[in-house]
Structure 1
């Protein structure tokens, strides 16, 4: 590996490469040779489980890999995939945990939100007010605190990456109604708008606002977050959060649809700074 990667991306890359190495050899034959169940090999190749470094080396050798550097690269991927990161300590649904893990490595972070500020762009006070309202409990409730803490950790990680040598790109589209909804009250919303303007001024951050005058647009089908990776277009990940069940989409055919929607939304919007200015002008005391 030329650059370090986190556990989610490492596991995805490793599972893909092991499946490629197997080629046309029947899975049952490889599983038998490794003294594994067919189910175990299927889980490895479908990115459902991690695989120990010794097993990776043995499997790679069985599949014809003899080059020492290539074996080391595959073993390094296995080691990276087994790192224990902070999000694994959280008792969240698997879909959210896996999405946070991928987010840590994404090259480009996209999102569309129609009802509230995208998670990575929220201030703590805004996140507390929003989450306590959604969960219909107080901001001090442990469930609220846990979710907000995780959201702030995600934001902290993003800010650190943006300040690094290889910052990710961030492209997010927000419906104008989000700016008009004073979640947490006027003071909290004012601070949130300030933060959005500050973020929009960063070199690798693109924030756009879809004005209400547009009427219909592709984002009306629902909010989502999309992650892409320079390593491979087929590694795209989409996260959809709902009041009941969250969804993590990794199938290339499905994620390609969200790529197209996101591209269109980013071309339809207007400058976030201009939109915030209009909101503040409209609410200025006469």
Structure 2
């Protein structure tokens, strides 16, 4: 797959991130084009599914940014823009197919206080109602699972080309040339979704309890 890094996107991310902006810029391009997306997140709600309040708390805590910092505001703006563009795709004429596996600890950790977490859980429950979204929670009693090794995403284009994105606190990595790597991580998410529990009822229950 050729490079899809866009200069304006790279410039926007470089201003507030010491990491190489190219993988992140490529990820944002793939989010706009992928026909199928596979998400694994054992620690927090995937960025595409975050509401702004949750994003602000999570980014600020991980990056050690003050709540009123311009850097944090810019990061949250970028993430909110990604989430909004993704939501518009879900409502469009050719929505992407999404498989997402979230560890139970993610939805039980109160991030940003009860009001923010209630909004986040309600949003997740609403997204899970789309026919093209397959969202599952991996319960605590499931024990160890493949997703605990770290966050990753697989973005697959309509022609079958797939790219794997690994997110880290200090570096991001894109793997776009090895179909076997993509197949392995894609299959891992599908197995986790199949073995998890339907997220909607649990999300609505937890949101109502906050």
Q: Which runs of 5+ in 1 are unaligned?
A: 1-11, 13-46, 49-80
CA deviation after TM superposition for structure 1 residue 89, in Å: 4.1
Please give the TM-score of this superposition, normalised by the length of structure 2.
0.89
Distance (whole Å) between structure 2 residues aligned to residue 191 and residue 91 of structure 1: 27
CA deviation after TM superposition for structure 1 residue 123, in Å: 0.4
CA deviation after TM superposition for structure 1 residue 277, in Å: 4.2
- Report what 1:197 is aligned to: 125
Whose helix fraction is larger, Structure 1's or Structure 2's?
A: 1
CA deviation after TM superposition for structure 1 residue 273, in Å: 1.5
Structure 1 outlier segments of 4+, above 3 Å: 277-281
Partner SS for 2:33? coil
Distance (whole Å) between structure 2 residues aligned to residue 156 and residue 112 of structure 1: 20
Contact 2:164/2:174 (8 A) holds in 1? yes
CA deviation after TM superposition for structure 1 residue 278, in Å: 4.7
Contact 2:122/2:204 (8 A) holds in 1? no
- Report what 1:243 is aligned to: 169
- Report what 1:115 is aligned to: 43
Please give the TM-score of this superposition, normalised by the length of structure 1.
0.66
Contact 1:95/1:246 (8 A) holds in 2? yes
Classify 1:278/1:161 alpha carbon distance in 2 versus 1 (closer, same or farther; 3 Å): closer
- State the structure with more CA Rg: 1
- Report what 1:131 is aligned to: 59
189-198 vs 220-229, which moves further: 220-229
1:223 to 151, 154, 163: 151
Corresponding residue pairs, total = 203
Distance (whole Å) between structure 2 residues aligned to residue 263 and residue 115 of structure 1: 18
- Report what 1:210 is aligned to: 138
1:192-237 per-position Cα deviation (integer Å, ceiling 9, x unaligned) = 11101111111211111000000011112211111112212xx211
How is 1:90-105 mapped onto 2 (pairs within 5 angstroms)?
A: 90-92=12-14, 93-105=21-33
Q: CA RMSD in A?
A: 2.0
Q: Which runs of 5+ in 2 are unaligned?
A: 15-20
